[in-house]
Amino acid sequence: MANSSEVRKPQEVDERSQQLLELKKRRDRLYATIKRIWEMERASKSIRRSTRGG
């Protein structure tokens, strides 16, 4: 009886891998967004610095 719970059905494995894929996609999108915001911040800071000097 104990072994039956340990053996996973192929469908469950499929669903798990699908969830992992979704998580990975979401994380990649989040990283891309953060990177874009960070680059925009850096660009605006450098622009402000150059305009203040002139």
Q: Chain centroid to CA 25: how far?
A: 6
pLDDT tens digits in sequence order for the chain, 54 residues long? 556 666 767 888 899 999 999 999 999 999 999 999 999 999 998 877 766 665
pTM of the model: 0.53
Can you read off the two tokens belonging to residue 18?
């699908």
Residue whose C-alpha is closest to residue 10's, from 22, 18, 2:
18
E strand spans, the chain: none
Task: Give dist(CA 46, CA 54) in Å, integer.
Answer: 13
